[in-house]
């Protein structure tokens, strides 16, 4: 039997992508994992092995604990709002109508914009001196003087910042859920209507169960984005600790305190936490669907 000749073309075509992933993803991940167990301080050389000291210091760091609580609120608000809005938008977009493709293109724009750009855009809304929101509220006589939305009240600051991120991540959630909705056969809805089911019952007993795979993916991507939120709070709230996220605290530890060892350790913990919570959520929500 003649031996089949190995075709190297497919491997040659994907090799640039493999090299790209290794250089920009795997190599930094491996380096961060190793460096997390070393004391890396440019102002206090040399670099030396410290075992679990970096992790112990992080656990007892009040700023890290505070940012952990803030990040939990970011996740709670961001994931809930983006998922609910994503489901609603996907259901609205499910049926074909005139201008649907244009509306979808407009819908995806906030997701395509960098977080820094979004933060700058929303600064014009939340600004305490010249913000659009203050101007509208005062024009409607709902307030007597301009209000400060960012930097003073912790919950209000987190809510205001997370609204900006929800504006960014909701389009992707909607598209992911819409993709699953498109696969649901119309026959199921027609049969339900014949059996006397109204729109609410059809949504509850047909739509929701069958879009669980899309919801699971949407929730996981929202968790990953929210758990690593940095651009929006940094642009809108600056270096103020009022609404620091874990990602911002990693930046502060690494580049303000110049303690790269603890920064690596905190990054590693965030990565592990992201993986764990994503797996748990996906396992809880995801359900294989067969039509």
Question: Does residue 85 register a pLDDT over 90?
Answer: yes
Question: Does residue 2 register a pLDDT over 80?
Answer: no
* Tens of pLDDT, residues 180-199: 888 888 788 778 788 777 77
DSSP for residue 127 = -
Whether the Cβ atoms of residue 125 and residue 133 lie closer than 8 Å to each other: yes
Question: Does residue 7 register a pLDDT over 80?
Answer: no
Residue 239 sits at φ, ψ, to 5 deg, of -90, 5
Q: Give percent above pLDDT 90 in the chain.
A: 16
Residue with tokens 């912790």: 154
* Tens of pLDDT, residues 89-115: 998 888 777 878 888 888 888 888 888
Per-residue pLDDT band at 80 (split at 50, 70, 90): very high
Average pLDDT, the chain: 85
pLDDT value for 206: 80
In this prediction the pTM is: 0.84
Residue with tokens 């949504």: 203
Question: Does residue 18 register a pLDDT over 80?
Answer: yes
pLDDT value for 291: 57
* Tens of pLDDT, residues 196-229: 777 788 888 888 888 888 899 999 999 989 988 8
Instruction: Give the span between the Cα atoms of 198 and 274, in whole angstroms.
Output: 40
pLDDT value for 286: 73
pLDDT value for 3: 60
Q: CA 181 → CA 109, 169, 199, 203, 266, distances in Å? A: 21, 19, 15, 11, 39
The CATH classification of domain 53-285, taken from the options 3.40.50.2300, 3.30.590.10, 1.10.3720.10, 3.30.70.2740: 1.10.3720.10
pLDDT value for 166: 92
Better-scored residue on pLDDT, 215 or 130? 215
Q: Where are the domains positioned within the chain?
A: 53-285
Question: Does residue 1 register a pLDDT over 70?
Answer: no
Q: Which of 252, 254, 249 is nearest to 42 (CA)?
A: 254
């Amino acid at each position: 039997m003649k031996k089949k000749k190995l075709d190297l073309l497919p491997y040659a075509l994907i090799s640039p992508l493999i090299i790209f992933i290794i250089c920009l993803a795997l190599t930094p991940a491996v380096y961060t994992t190793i460096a997390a167990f070393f004391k890396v301080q440019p102002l206090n050389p040399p670099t030396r092995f410290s075992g679990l000291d970096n992790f112990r210091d992080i656990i007892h760091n009040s700023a890290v604990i505070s940012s952990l609580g803030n990040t939990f609120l970011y996740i709670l608000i961001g994931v809930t709002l983006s998922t609910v809005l994503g489901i609603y938008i996907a259901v609205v977009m499910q049926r074909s109508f005139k201008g649907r493709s244009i509306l979808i293109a407009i819908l995806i724009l906030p997701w395509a914009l960098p977080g820094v750009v979004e933060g700058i855009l929303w600064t014009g809304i939340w600004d305490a001196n010249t913000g659009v929101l203050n101007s509208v509220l005062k024009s409607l006589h709902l307030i007597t003087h301009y209000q400060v939305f960012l930097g003073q009240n912790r919950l209000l600051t987190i809510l205001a910042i997370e609204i900006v991120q929800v504006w960014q991540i909701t389009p992707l959630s909607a598209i992911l859920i819409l993709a699953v909705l498109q696969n649901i056969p119309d026959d199921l809805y027609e049969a339900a209507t014949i059996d006397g089911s109204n729109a609410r019952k059809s949504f509850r007993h047909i739509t929701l169960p069958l879009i669980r795979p899309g919801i699971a993916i949407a929730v996981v991507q929202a968790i990953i984005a929210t758990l690593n939120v940095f651009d929006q709070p940094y642009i809108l709230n600056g270096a103020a600790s009022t609404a620091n996220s874990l990602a911002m605290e990693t930046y502060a530890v690494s580049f303000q305190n110049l303690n790269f060892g603890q920064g690596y350790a905190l990054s590693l913990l965030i990565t592990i936490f992201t993986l764990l919570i994503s797996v748990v959520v996906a396992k809880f929500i995801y359900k294989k669907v067969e039509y």
